[in-house]
A and B are shown apart, each in its own frame.
Chain A
């Protein structure tokens, strides 16, 4: 049965996916179509930024405030959206994760935990133990989001 085979295939990959993947999918698709419907005139770069933000927002919304990284992410997004209208320049300070940054040549010498703290949202105020916990959940959620986006791209791009 094809459904069975798909189930078997789904078993292993599903184990790596975040438990709230369906919520994530719904949030993200909603945001995606909203962006597509409402900002047809904006530039490509603006749209891609919006989509990226929507991806992180859907991640954070689906997880809620159970995790500190999601709360930190939500806070960042809300402050960004609040700052957006009055002063677009201020949005720079609330940089979303994954913003392409300059490669640091001395990254290896830096404390790796510090690097990880900067990568994971809300990680700067965590001890190592909690940092690893949050990293685990963040990685799971992020990989689920990537897979979701990849699926959408695959379906749309034929």
Chain B
């Protein structure tokens, strides 16, 4: 059958394409929406605006619009026409769809994509578009203007029509996604945001297929997850084309109420062979979120990279948290045991430390520390510390160690053992500050110790 042939052709093409960004999705949808129907499907067909089976099905989806003009016979007819127009230039194809899209927009059919500026410059897209069997031909350049004009109408489009338009868009998104390919920029976030806000990415159930390919992904919340979305959309492109080919795009708005506020919800697209129930989709979103977080945890917990699977990972994480808590307990006991030996006035130190932090810069800390340290008389042991602090190479353990050593040597008269700094993760300022505190209070300490 022609339709099937057209569909299969489209499927192949869709499989080849990679999805580069959501914006491309949106852009792809626009022309297809144009194709859908401005009131005369046969006219549309004659113009060769059909982008393939998906648009045909999308056009059928235009039923909610009240067009009701599409039926299977029409689709097949249009498909035939599409094939005839296959030889048309890709520019023409996109131009046609865009013109139709403009007219469709004027009818308030729904949200269209912005930024069709990518079309002319996308040679890869043009290549792919030429491969499509159902593209008609018209001037691509001329399409931009009506589209931009139509775009301005988007915000004013009928809210009631948004969902149906969005559904059509979804089909076309899937369609054009494959067409656009990876060459389209993904940086069109602004337009994408706009699209997202307008596109009612309601999860639509196709009765015949059960594939919710019509879900548009709105990254208003998760712009960071765009890459993941893109990958998913690639996979969905295949699905969309195949499902669109075989499904009757009856206008059935499902779960519209759940996603009335588009910015608040994350719209995802169902993958191939996956259930399209809104519950399962939400479940999938949740699962993906959890997987992301598990990956972060995997980096954090040592030795977790080899472990695969949620259960094992959770075991590892639990063990790690418990071991950390035990370590805290153990170290606190240790500190309690050795604490009496530490006799440094840390309050002043830390207040200076905070001040230094605001000044920031190890050199600044060193400079101010040296300035503060100078006034009190320095012991020989202190001088070693001061010099080390000034050089900025003391770290916390060494600093405290030196202070303790100095304290002990002052008490016992031993020579201070110079300890080289061990590379540590602690900032130098802290060490300098501790050194300062030590220098500031060591006199008192020595006095106390000697008494």
Contacts and interface: CB of A to CB of B under 8 A. Distances in A.
Binding between chains A and B: yes
Interface of A: 2-3, 5-6, 9-10, 13-14, 16-17, 21-22, 25-26, 29-30, 32-33, 35-36, 40, 44, 47-52, 54-56, 97-98, 100, 108, 112-113, 115-116, 119-120, 128-129, 132-133, 135-136, 138-140, 142-143, 145-158
Contacts of A113: 314
B120 interface: no
Contact of A97 (B325, B349, B405): B325
Given A22-B357, A30-B347, A158-B405, A120 B321 contact: yes
Contacts of A16: 300
Contacts of B324: 98, 139, 142-143, 146
Contacts of A14: 425
B342 A156 contact: yes
A119 B401 contact: no
Given A48-B336, A146-B331, A119 B342 contact: no
A132 B423 contact: no
B332 A139 contact: no
Contacts of A146: 324, 327-328, 331
Contacts of A152: 335, 396-397, 400
Nearest first, the 7 A-B pairs at minimum CB distance are A155-B400, A98-B325, A132-B293, A9-B423, A48-B336, A155-B397, A52-B332
A36 B332 contact: no
B336 A44 contact: yes
B442 to A, nearest CB: 15
Interface in B395-443: 395-401, 403-405, 421, 423-430
Given A26-B354, A48-B332, A155-B404, 7 more contacts: A26-B350, A98-B324, A112-B311, A133-B293, A136-B300, A139-B317, A156-B400
Contacts of A2: 391, 393, 421
Contacts of A29: 346, 349-350
Contacts of B231: none
Contact of B329 (A100, A153, A154, A155): A100
Contacts of A156: 335, 338-339, 341-342, 400-401, 404
A158 B349 CA distance: 21
A30 B346 contact: yes
Nearest to B393: A2
A140 B393 CA distance: 26
Interface of B: 286, 289-290, 293-294, 296-297, 300-301, 311, 314-315, 317-318, 320-322, 324-329, 331-347, 349-350, 353-354, 357, 362, 391-393, 395-401, 403-405, 421, 423-430
24 contacts: A2-B421, A6-B393, A6-B395, A6-B424, A6-B428, A16-B300, A21-B425, A21-B426, A33-B344, A36-B342, A44-B336, A44-B337, A48-B329, A50-B336, A52-B329, A52-B332, A116-B317, A132-B293, A138-B321, A139-B324, A146-B327, A150-B331, A153-B334, A158-B404
Contacts of B320: 139
A119 B321 CA distance: 7
B331 A153 contact: yes
B346 A112 contact: no
Given A26-B354, A151-B397, A119 B300 contact: no
Nearest to B294: A132
Nearest to A145: B328
Q: Which of A26, A35, A54, A113 has most chain B Cβ within 10 Å?
A: A26
A26 B355 CA distance: 12
B430 to A, nearest CB: 6
A151 B425 CA distance: 9
Contacts of A56: 328
Contact of B335 (A32, A119, A139): A32
A139 B397 contact: no
Contacts of B314: 112-113, 116
A63 B395 CA distance: 23
A119 B322 contact: yes
A98 B338 contact: no
A135 B338 CA distance: 31
Contacts of B395: 6, 151
Nearest to B342: A156
Nearest to A133: B293
Contacts of A6: 393, 395, 421, 423-424, 428
B147 to A, nearest CB: 39
A10 B425 contact: yes
A30 B344 CA distance: 10
